[in-house]
Amino acid sequence: MQPTTNLLGFFAHHKVAANLLMLMMIMGGLFALHKLNIRYFPSFDLDYVTVRTVWSGASAEDIETSITNPLEQTLRSVDNLRHLTSTSSQGISSITLEFVEGSDNILALNQVKQKVDEFRNLPADAEEPTVVSPARYEQISRLLIYGPDNFAELRNYANTLELQLLHAGIDKIDISGLPEQEISIQISHATLQHLDLSLDQVGQRIKAFSKDLPAGSFGDHDAATQLRSQSQRRNEQQFAKLPLISEATQRINLGDIAVIKRQNKKGEVTLSVNGKPAVEMVLRKAEHGDSFKAADSFHRWLNKTRAQRPDNITLHVYDETWKLVQDRIDLLIINGSGGLILVVAILYLFLSPRIALWVAFGIPVSFMATLLIMYFVGASINMISLFALIMALGIIVDDAIVVGEDALTHYQMGEDPLSAAEGGARRMFAPVIASSLTTIAAFIPLMLIGGPTGKILFAIPLVIVAVIIASVIESFFVLPGHLRHSFLKMDRQQKTGWHQRFNDRFEHWKNHQFRSLITYTLNHRAIALSLVLSLFIVTLGLLASERLKFRFFPSPESSMLYANIAFVPGTPKTQVDQFLQHMQDTLLATDHALSSQTLVLTHFNSHGRGISNKG
């Protein structure tokens, strides 16, 4: 056969070109594997902006009347607004604006800020509204710190660890169990009467002498120096020296008549482990960060810190979310390896060993090319894309099997190696392309789902389409050259012994039993169509009767158990602590009764205003 000028003929004639293309696919995949971000969920933009206003001490009704409703009316004129929701609770107004998909988030944020700045009817003592576009951070792990009885020691150590973790590369840390603190100033009523002072006068005096404000500038142009009045009191000693009465005959400082102490704000959430105070840190990475790199940085920091920590402090790591991604990758490798072995074994039964090897080799090559395509379109390795890759294991080898089987059949019929290899690719090109387009068309609707759900699911059709493209390229431009080379080194009838006997029995079953079934089906088409229609009706019946439940996202069992307990207002803290300790003792006793192995790996109590639970 004379060399042809089209691509199929070119790669079939030139084995070096096929090998170079295969090498490029493998090297490109390895490059993409190194560059692709590894995360839990796909990366996508959130079309939301939130407006949060704090008015301390105000009731939910006052918040809604004075802040939420007027702000809503102002914000409804923002461009591309799709939906607006609001929540008014005690002391806080929260408004969420959802924009039309594809809107410019920065422009939307600026428009909302402009509308809020133009709003002039806020209550005098309400704080300035905070306008933000929510940023997505993914959890890496949770760190539980406990041990010392002295809460001040635990607080200082936790603050030190927070700075170290941020320096180590953790993007964000959410801390629970460190209540916000306040300076408490207590003055007896008799003392106020003796000094002829009221609480309002004392408050105004404290406010006047505890400020940190800019005071202009000194000098001109480049030589100007900024001035600032720094008289803000920040601890008990500084507040104690604040002059309350300063006259020619007497000077009374605040510390002379008041009890000043630093204390936790009422209602703040606190944690405890075995009766000792605890602090929980939720470690997160930025949206475009890499989970594995962040986890590696955290564990290197953890190993170093554990070796240097005080003896009375325990660092306990749990709920490591990054391990879920690692487990999914391990599952993909196990399934891929198992599939590769099964493909080789099955193809060995029906084809020759050489053909089976090259067809199976197309699986890793196509996967590498898929990773390269994912890198070019800005995708990432996440739970959704890994699920799609696992699902694509059954698709990725189909094209190569069809091309390889057709080429082998024609070679065994007497065609020369080049004609058989090139002819197999030519004959199967139209059917394989039609089949691939049909599969792509089946997954395209998933790309058209809007909202956050559609953005998450977009990774599935994207990966499937990338797998199909990679499989087609490997089957028609790489495989034919390898088939030609294999045909040159094999006999036309290579099967012998048990392999030949198996092939003879399969041919006998195909030409007799299977052919008889097909002939009967063609001669009794009404029965065949009735059976298919009956199965379709039964399927519709299962869906209509809800015997077959529909759930868009599955609800896997969680490895964490929360027990929430609500107490009536005014319940003493000691009673709450006693009940939580009783629950903890019962949980551990149940753990020992259920199994000789420890089932409960982490447990702690958290309680505060609006929350009392056992985790």
| The predicted structure's pLDDT at residue 215 | 54
pLDDT at 533 over 90: yes
What is the DSSP secondary structure assignment for residue 381, as one 8-state letter?
Answer: B
Task: Report the SS3 class of residue 343.
Answer: helix
- DSSP 8-state secondary structure symbol assigned to residue 176: E
Q: What pLDDT band is residue 23 in, cutting at 50, 70 and 90? A: very high
Per CATH, domain 7-40+331-494 is 3.40.250.10: no
Q: Which of 20-24, 123-127, 456-460 is predicted most confidently? A: 20-24
> CB within 8 A of 389, min separation 6: which ones?
332, 367, 370, 463, 467
In 3D space, the residue among 161, 111, 132, 117 whose CA is nearest the CA of residue 51 turns out to be 132
Structure tokens that stand for 187 in this block = 């003055």
For CA atoms 435, 437, 440, 445, the dihedral sign is: negative
pLDDT tens digit sequence for 60-73:
888 888 888 888 88
Longest pairwise C-alpha distance within the chain = 122
Give me the mean pLDDT over the 587-605 stretch. Answer: 68
pLDDT band at 538 (very low <50, low <70, confident <90, very high): very high
> Class of 48-132 per CATH?
alpha beta
Q: In terms of C-beta density within 10 A (0-12 exposed, 13-18 middle, 19 or more buried), how is residue 124 classed?
A: exposed
How many C-beta atoms lie closer than 10 Å to residue 421's C-beta?
32
pLDDT-derived band at 558, boundaries 50, 70, 90: low
Alpha-carbon span 127 to 56, nearest angstrom = 8
Look up residue 235 and give its DSSP letter: S
Pairing of strands 137-146, 276-286: antiparallel
**Tokens for 259?**
């009890």
Mean pLDDT of all residues in the chain?
Answer: 81
pLDDT value at 553 more than 70: no
Integer Cα distance of 450 and 457 in angstroms: 10
CATH of domain 143-179+273-320: 3.30.70.1320
Structure tokens at 114: 């402009």
pLDDT confidence tier of residue 487, bands split at 50, 70 and 90: confident
Return the CATH number of the domain spanning residue range 182-213+227-264: 3.30.2090.10
The boundaries of every CATH 1.20.1640.10 domain in the chain are 7-40+331-494
Buried b (16+ CB within 10 A) or exposed e, 379-389: bbbbbbbbbbb
Burial 195-214 (b: 16+ CB within 10 A, else e): eebeeeebeebbeebeeeee
pLDDT tens-digit map of 403-447: 888 888 888 888 888 888 888 888 999 999 998 899 999 888 888
3-state SS, residue 164: helix
pLDDT at 615: 41
Half-sphere exposure of residue 370, counting CA atoms within 13 Å on the CB side?
29
Residues comprising the chain, all counted: 615
Return the bridge partners of 184, or none.
Answer: 261
- Which residue in the block uniquely carries the two structure tokens 């002072």? 197
Range(s) of the chain covered by CATH 3.30.70.1430: 48-132
Integer Cα distance of 459 and 44 in angstroms: 11
All residues at 6 or more sequence positions from 282 whose CB lies less than 8 Å from its CB, including other chains: 139, 142, 173, 174, 175, 176
Q: 457 is written with which tokens?
A: 């699911």
Q: Where in the chain is the domain with CATH 3.30.2090.10?
A: 182-213+227-264
Under 8 Å between Cβ of 48 and 99: yes
Q: Are strands 243-246 and 314-318 parallel, antiparallel or unpaired?
A: unpaired
CA–CA gap between residue 170 and residue 173 (Å, rounded): 7
pLDDT in tens, 63-99: 888 888 888 888 888 888 888 888 888 888 899 988 8
**Interval 204-263: pLDDT, tens:** 877 777 665 555 565 555 555 655 555 666 677 777 888 878 776 778 888 888 888 887
pTM of the model: 0.69
Residue ranges of the chain that CATH labels 3.30.70.1320? 143-179+273-320
